[in-house]
Amino acid sequence: MSCVFLTGANRGIGLELVRQYAADGWRVIATCRNPDGAGDLARIVEESNGRVERHQLEVTDTSSVAAIAEAFASESIDVLINNAGMGSITNASSDGETCYRISKAAVNMLTKLMAGYVADRGITVAAIGPGWVRTDMGGPNATSGVEQPVSRVRKVIEGLAPTDSGGYFDNQANPSRGDLSHSIHD
């Protein structure tokens, strides 16, 4: 059974990723800051016949990251999706779009750096923009719900090759214009 490890799995895009991977028979390790407060995720876990498990992970806390890394050190994980904390920097200023775009530039750099760090291990690293999605972050005016963009993101992941590592893709598998900063309204 294939295994996916997800951060930020308690709502929005992360929760839909859990739903879709679980429905396809994957083992899902779903993490979030407060799993006890994640009612929708708890229901998926209960209905999954043991394929979905939830764990606490605060991605900004190095001890939390170290603990989860140790807990799964001997596990084989096929896909890791870091969905947590994206865009949280928007609270730093009244100009949320500018801060959002700056946070995306940081994600772009992290993608490039991580691709280089793990290249010799055969790991492919890519950033994928889901588009403008109706979530707590995307807001009610976004162009689509979570189901279709998540399905497209999964197709992009399935089609990634080692030569794609360090790249940026939209949810149609098109190489991005060098960054994801434009994806707020795509």
Name the CATH superfamily for 88-186: NAD(P)-binding Rossmann-like Domain (3.40.50.720)
Q: What is the pTM of this model?
A: 0.86
Question: What are the residue boundaries of the structural domains of the chain, listed by start?
Answer: 1-85, 88-186
User: How many C-beta atoms lie closer than 10 Å to residue 29's C-beta?
Assistant: 23
Mean pLDDT of 43-63: 96
DSSP state, 165? T
Residue with tokens 């991977």: 21
The CATH number corresponding to 1-85 among 3.40.50.720, 3.30.530.20, 3.60.15.10, 1.10.3470.10 equals 3.40.50.720
Q: What is the pLDDT of residue 181?
A: 43
Reduced to 3 states, what is the DSSP secondary structure of residue 66?
Answer: helix
C-alpha–C-alpha distance, residues 1 and 134, integer Å: 31
Q: Which pairing describes strands 126-129 and 79-82: parallel, antiparallel, or unpaired?
A: unpaired
Q: Tokens for 86?
A: 């994206």
Please report where in the chains the tokens 């394929």 appear, as a residue: 51
Residue 182 has pLDDT above 50, yes or no: no
118's CB contacts (< 8 A; 6+ apart) are 125
Topology match between the domains 1-85 and 88-186: yes
